[in-house]
């Protein structure tokens, strides 16, 4: 019966084989100049893919079987873990069980596919490759119509895939796969020795992406993907020596309506709201609308990603709903304007991203030693005295605000370029060069307003950096670095003749750098003096130090534990311990660096160590010379045996006892015995027979054993003394946190009578002292402690030799 037997294929195999054959047949048809049937074939292929996509709604199983047999795009929904009721198994209870079924081992499948790529059943790839076969045949035959139609089919698929969203299926992944393949197709057209540009290059390189990105119907989730592939394609054009494509891209951008020029929308909204508020006689209009220009105008310019857009929209809606629309009802005009402003924000976001694509391309072209592209882009920038107000269509940033906004994103740009840059080196230098050239070629606006660099830097700090000190400091440091590099490059060839030939302009650029730096510094100074310090930051700082201190104040607790006199002993001598310092207030200002975290830990421990030493010195002072004995390391056990009856306390300093006493049965460390009483946690390490053993690490002391009879200890006392404002009680300390920026008696007093060290430092510049103090906070965390042991105390010090 073998004669009658036909090998059965599954549906997917049939589809894949048939598509391949249809592609081949179409390719042969092109060779024979049969154009119309090929167009028909293309239409059919296009429709077939769309029909398969529609199967998702009618026959999901078949859809997954055909489109995603390898589970690449299926989203597996996992049930969230109920962490509240989750119990972690103990170490010994963990078992590794392989529960995967043989058919579920996709890794193995993928591994096999990787080794035999021809065996992979990838219908999407087959659809794409059918089109590619047709395209290639048409390309060889110079059949432009078929090529164009092939590309339209791919483009249509992209347009159809774009709006699709589903929780169970990753349509964006499919779209990315298409774009990837489309980029490969583009590279094949670019990778020729022929300098002639392919007639469909513009479509392949950028128009597909630009049309989608700037379409009103675009799926916002995919915009970043389109931008990525837009850059990838244009980057390939540059890499493969086809700069003319990038030039035409720049021209397309300039001739477009991508520039978000209707930035006056907020003024209309302002007027409409003002009229409405007046109409309903709603209070202080100016105060109510104070935030509007900022939210609906200035902030929008700096929206560069979708997180920022969402945050802005949320803030904008919250402001309108909470502060305006609870007083008036919005009418259709107002709603229309709000919609316009939101559209403008999205458009600005897209334009900013487009600018970053251009910047990345130009940086790469500089790396390729091609300045013509940059010159070409700059040719379109209007002079500062142009009367085309708001009508500027330049793709490169022209105003200083735009330039700073681009510079602000240099780290992102560098990071993105690193992925593509040949050899992955030099990105930063070429980007810096580009910024320097842009600043050198920058022509300040003069016609309608005088673009002052200092004021621009100040405005930028407020609107784009949100007055965040760290961000402003970062920008200032970068501008300073750029300025220093500019000073060198303008004297160096080939940069001088290639990029900075005009001496007057060089001088002007240096002034520009200086002015911007001055602007940032003035903002920083302002923040240093006026930046808000949250109450939580103040209290957190102080209580942090105190709680660190309380972890380590062992000697005070030891004295109090074994005190023979519960009262304050007569003649007790106190010593003041704590913090009394002027510190930079910027460290406490909102949004600044993490405020003195290391300082909090270190200083808390320092105070405790200071106190611990005082406690030990009190004992050491009572040790007669004959009790201060040098011993060898192996004698430690004998010494411990001598004082093991329980009447003495043993403090081990800088010695790791567990290694010395590992075979000593009398030694009972706490970590081995849960039942033993821990006298002072982290200080008391165990018992040697009956004697409690404590351990301290302090580099001030030699490796030694400090031993004292329990009954010799009188007491250890901690006092704060009288507490008057500005002091307050915090744990066992009296504390004050004085912000000297606030004019008041403290500032006046300290200005008039500065501490000696400060007076010495400012003796030649006394006029700066007040400003210096205004940038400081005065922190005091103080208390006094005293320790007393009996005059005839029985105590011993055994120091280990060597």
Residue ranges binding other proteins (CB under 8 A): 6, 11, 14-15, 17-19, 21-22, 24-26, 28-29, 34, 37, 41, 44, 48, 51-52, 55, 58-59, 62, 66
Classify 577 as helix, strand or coil. Answer: strand
Query: Whose Cβ is closer to other proteins: residue 51's or residue 534's?
Result: 51
Residue 403 neighbours by CB distance under 10 Å: 20
Q: Which is nearer to other proteins, 24 or 710 (CB)?
A: 24
DSSP 359-395: HHHHHHHHHTT--HHHHHHHHTSPPTT-S-TT----S
Give the nearer residue to other proteins in terms of CB position, either 41 or 122. 41
DSSP state of 428: H
Q: In angstroms, what is the minimal distance from the CB of 120 to other proteins?
A: 19
SS3 688: strand
Least gap, CB of 390 to other proteins (angstroms)? 52
Helix, coil or strand: residue 714: strand
CA geometry: angle 363, 365, 368, nearest 5 deg: 115
**Shortest distance, CB of residue 74 to other proteins, whole angstroms?**
19
Between 126 and 410, whose beta carbon lies closer to other proteins?
A: 126
Cβ distance to other proteins smaller for residue 2 or 196: 2
Residue 222 CB, shortest distance to other proteins, in Å, is: 26
CA-to-CA separations, 251 to 187, 255, 394, in angstroms, rounded: 21, 6, 10
- Min separation Cβ 3 and other proteins, Å: 9
Q: Is 754 strand, coil or helix?
A: coil
Output the smallest distance, CB 154 to other proteins, in A: 19
**Which residue(s) pair with 576 in the sheet?**
784
Nearer to other proteins, 54 or 656 (CB): 54
Closer residue to other proteins (CB): 63 or 325: 63
Q: Are 252 and 379 in contact (CB under 8 A)?
A: no
CB of 19 to other proteins, least distance (A): 7
Question: What does the block give as tokens for 303?
Answer: 């929206």
- DSSP category for residue 205: I
The 3-state DSSP composition of the chain as helix, strand, coil percent (nearest 5) reads: 60, 10, 30
Six token digits for residue 168: 């169970």
Shortest Å distance, C-beta 126 to other proteins: 11
Q: Which helix (H) or strand (E) holds 797?
A: strand 795-800
User: How distant, in Å, are the alpha carbons of 549, 557, 719, 758, 783 from that of 579?
Assistant: 12, 21, 15, 17, 9
Minimum distance, C-beta of residue 24 to other proteins, in the bound complex (Å): 5
Phi first, then psi: give them for residue 572, nearest 5 degrees: -65, 130
Judged by beta carbon, residue 15 or residue 269, the one nearer other proteins is 15
Specify whether the CB–CB gap between 593 and 470 falls below 8 A: yes
Q: By the 8 A CB rule, do 147 and 139 touch? A: yes
- Considering the complex, state which of residue 48 and residue 539 has its C-beta at the smaller distance from other proteins: 48
Residue 94 in 3-state DSSP?
coil
| Burial label, 776 (beta-carbon count in 10 A; 0-12, 13-18, 19+) | buried
Which of 127/737 has CB closer to other proteins? 127
Rg (CA), the chain: 38
Closest by CA to 302, choosing from 369, 247, 352, is 352
The least distance separating other proteins from the CB of residue 7, rounded to whole angstroms, comes to 10
Contact (CB, 8 A) for 546 and 733:
yes
Min. distance of Cβ 295 from other proteins in angstroms? 51
Residue nearer to other proteins on the CB measure, 7 or 763: 7
In the complex with other proteins, which residue's Cβ is closer, 26 or 661?
26
Task: Give the Cα separation of 430 and 441 in Å (integer).
Answer: 16
Half-sphere exposure of 453 (CA within 13 A, CB side): 20
In the complex with other proteins, which residue's Cβ is closer, 169 or 694?
Answer: 169
How far is it, in rounded angstroms, from Cα 310 to Cα 306?
6
Q: From CA 511, how far away is CA 436, in angstroms rounded?
A: 13
Least distance in angstroms from the C-beta of 131 to other proteins:
15
Least distance (Å) between residue 169 CB and other proteins = 17
Task: Tell me how far, at minimum, the Cβ of 160 lies from other proteins, in Å.
Answer: 15
By beta-carbon proximity to other proteins, the closer residue of 127 and 541 is: 127
Q: Which residue has the tokens 């050239």?
A: 437
For other proteins, the closer CB: 15 or 362: 15
Rounded distance between C-alpha atoms, residue 119 and residue 573, angstroms: 89
281 DSSP 8-state letter: T
CB of 45 to other proteins, least distance (A): 9
Is-contact 552 604, C-beta < 8 A? yes
Asked if 717 and 695 count as a contact pair (C-beta separation under 8 A), the reply is no
């Amino acid at each position: 019966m073998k004669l009658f037997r036909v090998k059965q294929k599954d549906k997917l195999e049939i589809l894949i084989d048939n598509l391949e054959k249809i592609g081949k047949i179409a390719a042969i048809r092109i060779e024979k100049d049969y154009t119309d049937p090929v167009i028909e074939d293309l239409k059919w292929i296009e429709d077939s893919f769309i029909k398969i996509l529609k199967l998702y709604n009618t026959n999901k199983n078949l859809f997954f079987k055909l489109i995603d047999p390898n589970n690449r795009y299926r989203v597996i929904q996992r049930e969230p873990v109920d962490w509240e009721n989750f119990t972690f198994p103990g170490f010994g209870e963990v078992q590794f069980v392989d529960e995967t079924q043989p058919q579920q081992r996709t890794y193995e499948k993928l591994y096999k596919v990787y080794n035999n790529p021809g065996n992979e059943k990838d219908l999407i790839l087959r659809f794409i490759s059918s089109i590619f076969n047709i395209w290639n045949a048409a390309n060889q035959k110079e059949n432009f119509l078929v090529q164009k139609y092939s590309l339209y089919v791919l483009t249509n698929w992209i347009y159809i895939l774009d709006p699709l969203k589903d929780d169970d299926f990753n349509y964006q992944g499919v779209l990315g796969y298409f774009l990837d393949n489309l980029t490969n197709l583009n590279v094949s057209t670019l990778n020729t020795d022929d300098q002639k540009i392919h007639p469909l290059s513009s479509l392949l390189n950028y128009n597909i992406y630009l049309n989608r990105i700037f379409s009103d119907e675009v799926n916002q989730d995919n915009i970043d993907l389109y931008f990525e592939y837009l850059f990838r394609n244009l980057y390939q054009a540059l890499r493969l020596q086809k700069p003319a494509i990038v030039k035409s891209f720049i021209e397309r951008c300039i001739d477009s309506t991508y520039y978000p020029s209707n930035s006056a929308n907020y003024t209309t909204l302002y007027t409409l709201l003002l009229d409405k508020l007046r109409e309903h006689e709603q209070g202080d209009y100016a105060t109510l609308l104070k935030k509007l220009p900022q939210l609906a105008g200035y902030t929008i310019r700096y929206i560069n990603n979708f997180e920022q857009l969402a945050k802005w929209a949320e803030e904008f809606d919250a402001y309108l709903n909470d502060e305006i629309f609870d007083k008036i009802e919005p009418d259709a005009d107002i709603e229309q304007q709000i919609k316009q402003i939101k559209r403008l924000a999205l458009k600005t976001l897209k334009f900013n991203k487009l600018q970053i694509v251009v910047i990345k391309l130009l940086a790469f072209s500089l790396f390729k030693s091609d300045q013509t592209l940059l010159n070409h882009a700059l040719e379109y920038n209007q002079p500062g005295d142009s009367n085309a107000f708001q009508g500027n269509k330049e793709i490169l940033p022209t105003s200083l605000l735009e330039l700073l906004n681009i510079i602000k994103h240099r780290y992102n740009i560098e990071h993105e370029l690193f992925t593509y840059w040949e050899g992955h080196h030099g990105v930063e230098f070429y980007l810096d060069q580009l910024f320097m050239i842009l600043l050198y070629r920058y022509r300040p606006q003069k016609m309608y307003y005088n673009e002052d660099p200092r004021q621009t830097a100040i405005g930028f700090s407020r609107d784009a950096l949100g007055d965040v000190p760290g961000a402003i400091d970062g920008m200032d440091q970068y501008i300073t670095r750029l300025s220093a590099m500019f000073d060198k490059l303008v004297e160096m060839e080939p940069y001088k003749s290639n990029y900075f030939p005009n001496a007057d302009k060089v001088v002007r650029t240096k002034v520009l750098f200086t002015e911007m730096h001055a602007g940032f510094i003035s903002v920083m100074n302002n923040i240093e003096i006026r930046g808000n310090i949250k109450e939580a930051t103040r209290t957190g700082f102080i209580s942090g130090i105190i709680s660190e201190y309380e972890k380590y104040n062992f000697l005070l607790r030891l004295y109090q534990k074994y005190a023979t006199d519960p009262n304050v002993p007569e003649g007790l001598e106190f010593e003041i311990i704590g913090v009394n310092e002027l510190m930079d207030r910027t460290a406490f200002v909102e949004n600044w660096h993490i405020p003195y975290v290391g300082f909090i830990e270190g200083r808390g421990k320092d105070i405790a160590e200071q106190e611990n030493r005082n406690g030990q010195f009190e004992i050491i002072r009572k040790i007669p010379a004959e009790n201060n004995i040098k011993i060898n390391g192996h004698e430690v056990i004998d010494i411990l045996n001598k004082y093991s009856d329980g009447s003495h306390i043993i403090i081990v300093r800088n010695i790791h006892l567990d290694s010395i006493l590992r075979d000593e049965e009398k030694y009972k460390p706490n970590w081995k015995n849960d039942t033993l009483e821990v006298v002072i946690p982290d200080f008391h390490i165990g018992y040697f027979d009956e004697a409690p053993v404590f351990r301290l690490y302090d580099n001030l002391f030699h490796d030694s054993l400090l031993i004292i009879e329990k009954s010799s200890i009188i007491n250890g006392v901690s006092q704060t003394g009288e507490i008057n404002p500005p002091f307050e009680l915090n744990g066992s300390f009296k504390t004050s946190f004085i912000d000297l920026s606030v004019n008041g008696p403290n500032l006046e007093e300290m200005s008039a009578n500065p501490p000696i060290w400060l007076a010495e430092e400012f003796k030649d510049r006394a006029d700066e002292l007040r400003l210096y103090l205004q940038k400081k906070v005065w922190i005091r965390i103080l208390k006094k402690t005293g320790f007393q042991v009996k005059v005839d105390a029985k105590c011993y010090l055994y120091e280990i030799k060597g």
